[in-house]
Structure 1
């Protein structure tokens, strides 16, 4: 099965802010970025479209895949950063717990949020369920963290390598194979 993952477009949040599962609005560049996503997916035949329920993904999914029902799935949400949501990464790193988490992000949860292993389990559950379907090609409109985990799982790359060397772009379209 082909899985086409699309990251939401830019958000109206200053650079350097951790926004995770906060439902933030899209940036003014949405229409330009939408046309780029539409061009990248023109003629794409899909069996199903899944999306994170956060509005930045829903808006893009509905605008690109106008003739498909959009299935919302909580497992496609970005990581929950708990009390760090809407803080700057610099302010988070300036705290002892923030610095400790950033040095051990692969196993520790965020303060009152979730851990990367918990996010990994959510995404793995979604992929496992999808692999049992009869679909040949599906689209997921989601977030950078989810796309990185899809790449890790479906291309057998370590999470460390993916988080160090792969940064999904806003409005980026990525194709994976579920075997």
Structure 2
């Protein structure tokens, strides 16, 4: 089975803002980059997307430009929940909160948010559900979700997830 992991394009947030599950939109114009993304995808597929605007806008464009077998938005594909840190500047998060998380983001939960382990578990449930689909699958999501899927796929330890660089608008093809 072919799976195409697609990260949303750049957001309107200035650099250095923590925006996990905050529903921010993408920079415009995006037609040219959307065209490049579509050119790397199969001509027909089952499509899943995070419901957050920055993914859903791209997903709808893809649906309009390839033969879509089915389309579904899934909350399990939302980016990591950064709780109290949402929409704060990273450098304004108190070091007493940020430093322990930076040392062990896998297990330490952000206040009113989640840990990377919790994100990985919800992605695992999603991944198990789609494992019987025979058609190519396109997943439009966020860097954290894509890194989690790559950890599932390659058995990469979660502590090394951020070694996988995932650029805005990147398409990564994997096979199961």
Q: Is the 8 A contact 2:4 2:139 kept in 1?
A: yes
Partner of 2:173: 175
Q: Is the 8 A contact 1:10 1:30 kept in 2?
A: no
Determine whether 1:79 maps to 2:80: yes
Partner of 1:157: 156
Unaligned runs of 5+ in 1: none
Q: Hey, what's the Cα distance between the residues in 2 that align with 1:117 and 1:83?
A: 18
Partner of 2:133: 134
Q: CA RMSD in A?
A: 1.4
Per-residue deviation, 1:177: 2.0
| CA offsets 1:79-134 (integer angstroms, 9 cap, x no match) | 00001000111112x43012111111110111110111110001000111111x33
Q: Hey, what's the Cα distance between the residues in 1 that align with 2:158 and 2:117?
A: 10
Q: SS of the residue aligned with 2:91? A: helix
Q: Hey, what's the Cα distance between the residues in 1 that align with 2:156 and 2:104?
A: 19
Alignment of 1:30-49 (within 5 A): 30-41=30-41, 44-49=42-47
Per-residue deviation, 1:47: 3.6
Please give the TM-score of this superposition, normalised by the length of structure 2. 0.92
Q: Hey, what's the Cα distance between the residues in 2 that align with 1:134 and 1:60?
A: 22
Alignment of 1:1-179 (within 5 A): 1-41=1-41, 44-66=42-64, 67-68=67-68, 69-92=70-93, 94-131=94-131, 133-163=132-162, 165-178=163-176
Unaligned runs of 5+ in 2: none
Aligned length: 173
Q: Is the 8 A contact 1:45 1:137 kept in 2?
A: no
Q: SS of the residue aligned with 1:71? A: strand
Per-residue deviation, 1:29: 4.2
Q: Which has the higher strand share?
A: 2
Q: Hey, what's the Cα distance between the residues in 2 that align with 1:11 and 1:45?
A: 27
Q: SS of the residue aligned with 1:175? A: strand
| CA offsets 1:132-175 (integer angstroms, 9 cap, x no match) | x3323111000000000111110121222231x21211110011
Please give the TM-score of this superposition, normalised by the length of structure 1. 0.91
Q: Is the 8 A contact 1:76 1:123 kept in 2?
A: yes
